[in-house]
Structure 1
Amino acid sequence: MDYSLHREREARHFISRHNADLEPPLYVKSDPTPRMCVALVTVRRDMDDYFEASVGSLLEGLDKQERSKLYISLLFANTEPRLHPSWGQRWIERLADSATTYNVSDSQLEHLKSLERERNFYEKGVFDYLYALRTCQQLNASYTIIFEDDIILAAGWFSRTLQALAKIARLEQQLGKPWIYLRLFYTETALSWTSADFAYRNMPFVFGLLMLSTLLCLVALRRTRFKQFHLDTASIAIISMVCMPAFTALVYMVGKYSLMPLHGVIEMNQYGCCTQGLVFPRERVNGLMEFLSARGHGQTDSMIEEYADQYALTRYALAPPQLQHVGLKSSRDNLDINTRSTWAFWFETNDPDTLRGEHQRLLQDEDVKKMLNMSIAA
């Protein structure tokens, strides 16, 4: 957890500076025409609370121009928001563009209270996701991001996201393929070998081919002038029938992602896990909300995938992941083993100095400037 811990320290220090009794540092908020609305849904947790670090890592390090194009909406998704440890703290008003709880009718509020008592997270989770989407949709921003409250974002995440969105816009124009979201988080454990991979689907053939090739090469070597190798029949058999299969198996065990790491904007129509951070284009949000409303309850991530499959919408991911899932205990009663295995291993290899330098270069990138409505030098 090297980079996560480093980034968490930066995030908490950022929050504490803006939560002090003293006059806080001057801070830019969203301008009237944000490029992106960020909705972060949070609930009170019985154990560790990650909310402050999540928001802090989202904001820490942003350039003023970047921050002015982000509208930060915080939803305290408890029917009694005062139970949340961050409710009413100074930094909330100073840093967020809006921080609200449910603005619903009395009957809806009573229904939500009953869902909390029954711990019916399948229905309440969908309601909260819809509430967050609807809040952002009212702003008329080009994109909406829904974040969970147990994440840590990498420095420079926003510029890299804007650059990726510019590329997706070009891909959509060139290929005519509508898309539903850009995924900022995925776990490499979901990207293992599958039957879609030739080398995995034809594993017996691969083993047989390599064993036969090794055998033929060694026999040919023995017949050449390199007789000092002393390749007797037993040695050839052991190398071909034992060593080569063992090394081949080791390659498979290392994992596809380690052998062929992903980079940049990639299609991830399968095996993309979870809803820690998804970016939706505005034109797709209304259709998604209608679909989720009709279903009413279930696993939100699975329903989003079902909607995308139903309407043949492409799903993209930004590699490597731009955020880490740090929650050890689910707020929705999911199994601990599933919660703790939702982890982006490559996120931890980030170097703070490298990311800072990359962030400064990205701010001069033409795609990023266009997305931020900045002027471009001729």
Structure 2
Amino acid sequence: MNLSRQPGFRTLALLLTVVTVYVTYGYFHFYRDPLSIFFSEEHGFDRFYSATRQAEAEAFLGALDANPDAIRSRLGKAGLRPEMCAVFMTIARDLAGRQYIETAVGSFFANMSRAEREAIHLKLFFADVPSPETQHRSFSKLATADIADDIITYAKSLPEKDKERQMALLESWFKARDNKSMIERKTVHDYAYALRQCVQTTEAPYIALFEDDIILADGWAVRTLRNLHTVEEMMRDPRRHDPMRGRVEPGGPNSWLYLRMFNQERSFGWGGGYGFRSNNAHVISLAVSSALLVFIVLGRRFFLPRSVTRHLDGWVLLVVCGVAVPLFVWLFFASGKASLLGSPPGVYEEWFGCCSQALVFNRKHAQALSDYLMAATNKPGRAGRGDMLPKDFAWDHGLARLSAYPMLAQHLGRISATGTTSSDARQIWSMAFEDLEARKLADEHSQFVKEFFGREELGGMAFG
């Protein structure tokens, strides 16, 4: 018997060919998706756009070192009515070279227009205690540069009334950084304090909290302001209703808590892992195979021509419905959601998401959230994580949580300030950020500045 002439054998050979081609494609294209079977530990965190953007940030810092007066004159400071209060929170880390905060601030300013600068009040929050001036290597440099609107330290900003007790408490948490509970309390307190500082010292309707080990994309400011205006338009939809406690359905509440500027693909992949039963792949396979089998059997009997039905014998049905369908369903999930579907540009309501590297909060709820976080630091046991507590607050108050794509921030930190291992820290990573194109971002940056501010206010910091 000549196997090559058997329909079942030819179908199996075709299936093996298709799977081989797909696996080869996945090996070369899906290796950066952490929830894909093709993920590579060696190359999954390769840097592409973030390396380009870091070079631009370094160029800005170099220009600032060379001629700080020229940089300050060209950029200026925040206007009288800024739209956003942005806070970089930082503590000193055991790094051999430049501290993370300097690169982060460099990316904040690199290629920024004067119009964007006027719209954003920038605070640098040095959260070391008792004395950032002596504990943080970047304090003196950034203070002298005078490019921020405000520099915050606990020692200089805590109310005199209870300052001594508060400083002693913060210092005790800070010194006990090997204790997970203590560092959580200090971190949550820092977030609460940063929010409170923006509420008390500015009228900005939006408050952005940035960790110091990030890098921001070219044009991040005007893109984020555009996205925030989109959020406000979404909230004015008449189909939305008053915030309610508990489950927040898409399109439901008419108020929101935060807009996410950073997310990692590990947080929006398929749940359940790679197993065949994960994501109910076995149920989906059975349903698809059964429907396809019925369709083929009925078609072979009633309406498919003889020239086709003679190729649809029992072996073909077994290969197609018993092997191919389950295999492709499993491959669909195992390849990774980010690899196959990605995230189209826009602003979306999302409940998943990781980490607190770059979040923009709604001022309307900032004071209440700050109080909520402060209260968490006084609870017995563990205070909770800085990224999870705002989620709990949003749930309790029926507030929407949103994400903006493309993601405009990347996490570069490998030396954690909260005791996270280097291996775990590097996995807080946005694959999509590395796919951004520098030239395209630069062109869109200029276009968006003209459109958003209604005048040609480019004054760009074109370094790099």
TM-score, structure 2 normalization: 0.73
| Two-structure CA RMSD over aligned residues (Å) | 2.6
Change in Cα spacing, 1:209 to 1:353, as seen in structure 2 (3 Å) is same
In structure 2, what is the equivalent of residue 96 of structure 1? 148
Using the TM superposition, give the Cα deviation of residue 15 of structure 1 relative to its aligned residue in structure 2, in angstroms.
1.0
Q: Is the 8 A contact 1:19 1:89 kept in 2?
A: no
In the aligned structure 2, how far is the partner of 1:182 from the partner of 1:84?
A: 30
Using the TM superposition, give the Cα deviation of residue 39 of structure 1 relative to its aligned residue in structure 2, in angstroms.
0.5
Give the alignment partner of residue 85 of structure 1, picking from 137, 145, 149: 137
Q: Deviations over 1:18-49 (max 9, x none)?
A: 02377543332112221111100111111363
In the aligned structure 2, how far is the partner of 1:271 from the partner of 1:217?
A: 38
Change in Cα spacing, 1:165 to 1:92, as seen in structure 2 (3 Å) is farther
Q: Deviations over 1:208-235 (max 9, x none)?
A: 1322344456554696333597444323
User: Which is worse superposed, 175-184 or 251-260?
Assistant: 251-260
Q: Is the 8 A contact 2:215 2:409 kept in 1?
A: yes
Matched, 1:331 2:417: yes
Q: Is the 8 A contact 1:35 1:69 kept in 2?
A: yes
In structure 2, what is the equivalent of residue 156 of structure 1? 219
In the aligned structure 2, how far is the partner of 1:140 from the partner of 1:285?
A: 12
Q: How does 1:221-300 map to 2 (within 5 A)?
A: 224-226=305-307, 230-262=311-343, 263-268=345-350, 270-296=351-377, 297-300=383-386
In the aligned structure 2, how far is the partner of 1:92 from the partner of 1:213?
A: 71
Q: Is the 8 A contact 2:54 2:107 kept in 1?
A: yes
Change in Cα spacing, 1:231 to 1:145, as seen in structure 2 (3 Å) is same
The alignment of Structure 1 onto Structure 2 pairs a total of residues equal to 366
Which ranges of structure 2 fall in alignment gaps of 5 or more residues?
Answer: 1-46, 242-253, 378-382, 458-464
Matched, 1:320 2:406: yes
In structure 1, what is the equivalent of residue 22 of structure 2? none
SS of 1:357's partner is helix
In the aligned structure 1, how far is the partner of 2:144 from the partner of 2:387?
A: 28
In structure 2, what is the equivalent of residue 190 of structure 1? 267
Q: Deviations over 1:184-225 (max 9, x none)?
A: 111121112249xxx976533320132234445655469633
Give the alignment partner of residue 126 of structure 2, picking from 76, 81, 84: 76
Q: Is the 8 A contact 1:145 1:280 kept in 2?
A: yes
Change in Cα spacing, 1:267 to 1:200, as seen in structure 2 (3 Å) is farther
In the aligned structure 1, how far is the partner of 2:57 from the partner of 2:67?
A: 18
SS of 2:410's partner is strand
Q: Is the 8 A contact 2:126 2:152 kept in 1?
A: yes
SS of 1:331's partner is coil
Change in Cα spacing, 1:356 to 1:91, as seen in structure 2 (3 Å) is farther
Q: Is the 8 A contact 2:260 2:358 kept in 1?
A: yes
In structure 2, what is the equivalent of residue 376 of structure 1? none
In the aligned structure 2, how far is the partner of 1:90 from the partner of 1:338?
A: 29
Q: Is the 8 A contact 2:256 2:399 kept in 1?
A: yes
Of all paired residues, the percent bearing the same amino acid is 31
Q: How does 1:48-197 map to 2 (within 5 A)?
A: 49-79=99-129, 80-81=131-132, 82-89=134-141, 93-102=145-154, 103=156, 104=158, 105-119=163-177, 120-137=182-199, 138-174=201-237, 175-176=240-241, 177-194=254-271
In the aligned structure 1, how far is the partner of 2:236 from the partner of 2:211?
A: 31
Change in Cα spacing, 1:3 to 1:98, as seen in structure 2 (3 Å) is same
In the aligned structure 2, how far is the partner of 1:259 from the partner of 1:343?
A: 18
In structure 1, what is the equivalent of residue 81 of structure 2? 33
Using the TM superposition, give the Cα deviation of residue 239 of structure 1 relative to its aligned residue in structure 2, in angstroms.
2.7
SS of 2:306's partner is coil
Aligned-partner residue type, residue 131 of structure 1: Y
Q: Is the 8 A contact 2:78 2:118 kept in 1?
A: yes
TM-score, structure 1 normalization: 0.89
Q: Is the 8 A contact 1:188 1:345 kept in 2?
A: yes
Give the alignment partner of residue 434 of structure 2, picking from 348, 359, 362: 348
Q: Is the 8 A contact 1:147 1:278 kept in 2?
A: yes
Larger radius of gyration: 2
Q: Deviations over 1:330-365 (max 9, x none)?
A: 111024443222111111100000111111221233
Change in Cα spacing, 1:90 to 1:111, as seen in structure 2 (3 Å) is closer
In the aligned structure 2, how far is the partner of 1:22 from the partner of 1:327?
A: 27
Q: Deviations over 1:288-323 (max 9, x none)?
A: 111112221331111111111111111111012111
User: Which is worse superposed, 355-364 or 273-282?
Assistant: 355-364
In the aligned structure 1, how far is the partner of 2:79 from the partner of 2:204?
A: 11
Q: Deviations over 1:253-284 (max 9, x none)?
A: 1223333333311001x222111111112111
